[in-house]
Structure 1
Amino acid sequence: MNFPDPVQSPSLPASLCYLNGEFTPLRDARISVLDRGFIFGDGVYEVLPAYGGRVFRFEQHMARLDRSLGELRIPNPLGRDEWLAVAQRLIEDLRTTTSSINQLIYIQVTRGVAVRDHVMPPGLRPTVLVTAGEMKLATPAQRELGVACVSADDFRWEKAHIKSTSLLGAVLARQISADAGAVETVMYRDGFLSEAAASNVWVVKDGVVMGPPKDHLVLEGIRFGLIEDLCRDLGIRFELRRISRAEVLAADELLLSSATKEVLPITTLDDRPVGNGRPGPVYARLYAAYQQAVAAQSV
């Protein structure tokens, strides 16, 4: 059977990427088949949202990249200024070739190329790939009506705090909601809320915003700190603690947060309405404050 050459596929973007020190068209980029990112998923990634050409909460994203690389014992191949310069170059290129106003910058760093062996080889040169694409935010209808989610047990590994390129667990979890026509899969571990497949989850009860603790079972999204800051500024009580499934089901509001969702209301979970089945007042206040933070912050 003959398959089309994926490099020649018209679906692949012609925009630039950064690969191991060079800017090249993404469709022409190549890495070794022995790269440990390809063989083992031995690498980490980071996603930087950019609004109007300006990276949002850059320092926080870089701090998380440092933490993830440190957990895998991969040296950070670039300094802060170098990462920012690469991101800005790709943002500028994308803005000249598309009508995109807001972008997502994907950074991927793997351990590098070596003969296949589970043991971490010392002294490898990390493989660095940075790409840019259009950031597709929630639609006006999703903001007005909220979104539907489903729930599942959290079957992923116990180092969820690492933003690893080994995302098979997240892929399988997200497919559960996709198959159900829902936006996300809200997950529980041992009866307690962890997170969604590609988002953090927030529970609102009696005006209090609650989230799971920052531990190895949850990826600390950049919006963890942002939502805490927004709650403080708005005078909303904020708590991080273990949250039972029963508390999730009894919530007045449920919220998702991520780079593309920003903060988004869940109004249906497992075909049951959340609260009164409409986006709630805490969501409205947080979303408005989020937009103010985006407008106010530059790199």
Structure 2
Amino acid sequence: MTAIQSVLFLLLLAPDPLGPGDHTRTLTVGNIERSYIVHVPPNYDHDKSSPVVLVFHGGGANPQSMIRFSGMNAKSDEAGFIAVYPAGTGRFEKLLTFNGGNCCGYAMRNKVDDVEFTSQLLDDLATVVNVDEKRVFATGMSNGGIITYRLASELSERIAAIAPVGGPMGTQTCNPKRPVPVIHFHGTDDENAPFKGGKGKGVSGTDFYSVEHSINAWVKANGCNEEPVVTKQQPKIDDGTSIIRKTYGDGKDGAEVVLIEIVGGGHTWPGGPSRVRFLGKTTKNISANDAMWKFFQKHPMN
């Protein structure tokens, strides 16, 4: 086979690039078939590299429910990043979890390697869209937030920054190869993953680490100031919540750790479209999507 024939053969084997819209991809990781949904925004240009935001669903949820819960597709369309919704594993098709360390469910009990899954997902994604490898970010709700912390620790060479929502670290320590900026959103009245740690009302039975543990671990790992700059935001909407922003700056390579403390907030997505009463109050005084995207833009990988 000539060189030209070899190139043509490889081109024939290469998957077709994805255009705007929603697409489901599958891959096999450790003998387990895994999947994820890719949302490509309308203004996507395959000739230009695009940032990627991985959006991990909570425990007992799935990518489709996370799309509705977070409203992240609308932010993707507005800002121009590619939104990716990984699917966890479980005995039931739509009740899925990720192995974040001490949580949760099927994935934890079966020691599913969700770090390797994410790594292979990123490899697969790069075959169908033009990924800016310096701007791959991760966010997630609850169990999805917990797995973002694990990715920041164990896949720091590929994850530029993270934005966990209502999900603390699931490990005692973190050991990133490089500083990973963190913006963490958490309601003080979260009864599922309690702000101060311990067992919540959820069915997982997890004894959660506290938000303080998570923040302190990453302040140390990123070499940030131990004392934060505290800003209290005046409520714009009288919904029983208020916002306190704690910024730990001056970290290595410009890294910082930010805690968005939602006073009165529940186990919910700040500014999100979904309001589930038994999860507590959803603040409208800040948009997690807007705040994290602004943070992500500030912190591409060096």
- TM-score above 0.5: no
Larger relative contact order (C-alpha < 8 A, sep ≥ 6)? 1
TM-score (norm. length: structure 1):
0.29
Larger radius of gyration: 1
